[in-house]
A and B are shown apart, each in its own frame.
Chain A
């Protein structure tokens, strides 16, 4: 096939079926957004239509348009849909080199996308690489005419429909609803339909606040599998913050001893701070009493309290809970 295609020179476009022009000799994939310039001669003339190659499923009006000036041109058609909300508008236009790379990588012959008219529309919108990935147009094997490919939708066209990127992908922005009756499994991540998702390490974010530090943090409990790991994480999270806090309290004078002091003894009451949590019933509990998985399934939020203030809080073990 390649040799067949290369056998056509650009000048001999008239003789060759249109499609074969699409892979020019020098393997330069010129991607352009406009391939219907030739239509000024009258896109609806039947003679033109005869010369055109028809691609796509029967019944659909697919055709190729010639370049007016004889330059070969290829149209890259990738059947992907709007990218996720892309805040990076500077990459809208893929450079020539990038396009060429993509084209050769995908070994895609070009096919135009057609709507109901012989007018070609561009199907090129290669945006950020983080996109969902190219799903090559179903017609990627349709180099030959009359290949019946099932094509459910026309490939997207740049800038159509005219919606700004801020407004795209709202299908995923489904409104959610809390169900009236919740299970004990309180740390829930809601899926788009508002149903609680199994808490199987999928990201169980709980808030964690530390005495003396105004800004709380969030920890993903799913990332840990033991109290020890949680304790280390807390230490890492708050060590710097605590030092900064003390620094500002001291009027900015650096007290080297305060700097970055390790936070230890969170679980056994031996340290300056102790880990405490609120469970799904609103009770405050010492962290560490119950098996880890039970803790994870009932914890709502975590606090790092000063050990000296613990006795005033009437904390109990899991067997003997008392609300605060």
Chain B
């Protein structure tokens, strides 16, 4: 994966493919193309009409050597996939030179197949569960187990250095096997994973002596009461990045302090909320070279009264001259906000999304953040706070506004006013995630016109099916304008009251859209039909609680093999409809899920999750999943 340096962000957005143009088509080509290999064995090469025949000694090897030396410069997945389709020779050469393996869906291909084709891999990325699993829409134990991958890779890639996982189920045993098997292991990145505890972490950090990166982002870690910080090697470490802000367990601070002291390469450190500001201070003075810092609680430790000798937090921050990415503030004590002033003007990324602060409290900070490119914040700053952002952050690429109160009837502190202000001020915006209670078409249209660089537009009007609160109309025109005017748009999430018309716009204009998220929207099958017939680049479609049925599902038959997955929950599908798909497309795995276990067989189910796969039905389905297999 190539990191885009112009968008510094948390590692979770590194895992996002919104900036990566390559689809994960590479492993689906199945049989090796065999038609074009004749040229390799020395046939006529004509210049001006006369054919001159000559033989080249071991042409395959020569060509392959050339290819290997060229292909090593190809990093993009799409380019590599294209290269591998040219002929057998190129296929082989590409396979031998691919060092980074990306598995977009862990069930699309088996570990055995992947490791058989690519034999010299150093870095592997695997994604598991679909995104809606994050919101309790999928029961636990659905799958996405790391175990079979680790087993295969342990044998196939003993020199593996890097493993990135997103939404995978990882156990302590998996981590132990990982630690045992890869002597040179360097980087472990876990995003939205679960299933393991601090004992697993302890094994990894103690055995992987070359460890450079340990990043846990929004990952659940069970508290086994193992002091994993103590398990790092006693000598100097190679640590460059240690991110554990999502770990809910207490940690041994003294051990952490010593660890930081003996990690001279440490650049990225994200602390969890159990680290107090006083402890933060101690770490910062030991590591002024940090570029990325997650501050932990940013508050006094529990029970500490004020009047303690006040540490010079301002100096600590001022000493961190390389700091560009700041996050944390899990229990922010407002009095300490000025401590970060020295670094504001250098920041390219600021995450205040756990800090419940007002516009007035934000302004002194944000008014200094001229270079800010990525900003995550809570809607407690209100429209006024967003105006302040718009006034200063002219370089803003990414904005995420999260709700303090994630309920449908809550008071909405941000609205179309804030959105419009942002669109006016932040013209370079590429990615926005905006939670609100009310919105207008006018504001969305304004954004579509002002922010032509938008690649990701995710608007979540939290009240289901809410219309434009000024005109009372559906939000069709707003989203229509987005797909029409934002020519680079690849990811879209819609909300509010939407009719089939909105989807007709998406189908007509959203020609580059790869990821589409739909909830409580649409009138009829037509809506889904428009999308499936119009969005030729669609790869990931997740739909919930929308009135799309079997007819609509069938309208996508021509396209499902080009997609990574389709998720439809609480829609109008029937079993028969899903069976029709399963029969037509044998390479599709069609999973239907019920949410209540123990119910007898019947027509009803809650969720359809289907995806292309080279392997056929997986063998690790839990009880509540049924795979529709034709011929059985």
Specify which chain A residues have a CB less than 8 angstroms from the CB of B141 in the assembled complex.
90
Which residue of B218, B299, B572, B596 contacts A39 across the interface (Cβ within 8 Å)?
Answer: B572
User: CB-CB < 8 A to A189: which residues of B?
Assistant: 303
A interface, over-half SS: loop
B140 touches A161 (CB 8 A): no
Q: CB of A160 within 8 A of chain B? A: yes
- Inter-subunit contact A162/B303 (CB<8 Å): no
Within 8 Å of chain A (Cβ to Cβ): is B355?
A: yes
Q: Does A152 sit at the interface, judged by CB under 8 A? A: yes
Partner pick for B598 among A82, A97, A175, CB 8 A cutoff: A97
Mask of B585-615 contacts with A, CB within 8 angstroms, 1/0:
0000000001111110011101000000000
Q: How far is the CB of B576 from chain A (nearest CB, A)?
A: 11
Q: A69-B604, A89-B140 are contacts. A182–B306 as well, Cβ < 8 Å? A: yes
For B525, the closest partner residue in chain A by CB is A40
Q: Which of A118-126, A242-250, A307-315 contacts B (4 or more CB under 8 A)?
A: A118-126
Contact A33 B465 (CB under 8 A): no
**A98 to chain B: closest CB distance in Å?**
10
**How close is A154's CB to chain B, nearest CB, in angstroms?**
6
A87/B254 contact (C-beta < 8 A), A121-B520, A164-B134, A170-B356 known: no
Chain B residues near A117 (CB, 8 Å)? Answer: 465
Interface class of chain B by DSSP: loop
Q: Closest CB-CB distance, A275 to chain B, in whole Å?
A: 18
Bitwise, B277-320 to A at CB < 8 A (1) or not (0) is 00000000000000000000001001111110000000000000
* A291 at interface by CB-CB < 8 Å: no
In the bound complex, CA of A297 to CA of B105 (Å): 60
Q: Given A31-B596, A33-B606, A160-B464, are A187 and B334 neighbors across the interface (CB < 8 Å)?
A: no
**Cross-interface CB contact of A34 among B136, B407, B606, cutoff 8 Å:** B606
Closest to B334 in A: A177
Tell me the count of chain B residues lying within 8 A, CB to CB, of chain A: 76
Is B619 an interface residue, CB under 8 A from the partner? no
B305 → chain A closest CB, angstroms: 5
Any A CB within 8 A of the CB of B408: yes
Q: Given A82-B406, A117-B465, do A96 and B597 touch, yes or no (CB 8 Å)?
A: yes
Contact of A93 among B139, B220, B331, B406 (CB under 8 A): B139
Q: Is A261 an interface residue (CB 8 A)?
A: no
Give min CB distance, B505 to chain A, whole Å. 20
Asked whether any CB of chain A lies closer than 8 Å to the CB of B15, the reply is no
- Whether A167 lies near B406 (C-beta < 8 A) is yes
> In the complex, how many angstroms separate the beta carbon of B240 from the nearest chain A beta carbon?
25
Are B403's CB and A161's CB within 8 A? yes
User: What residues of A have a CB within 8 angstroms of the CB of B134 in the complex?
Assistant: 162, 164
In residues 251-286 of chain A, which contact B (Cβ within 8 Å)? 280, 282
Give 10 A-B contacts (CB < 8 Å), ordered by A residue: A32-B594, A37-B604, A40-B549, A71-B604, A90-B140, A116-B466, A121-B520, A170-B356, A170-B405, A218-B302
Interface residues of A (CB under 8 A from B): 30-34, 36-37, 39-40, 42-44, 67-69, 71, 73, 81-82, 87, 89-93, 95-97, 99, 115-117, 119, 121-122, 125, 152-154, 156-164, 166-168, 170-171, 173-178, 182, 186-189, 194, 203-207, 214-215, 218, 280, 282, 300
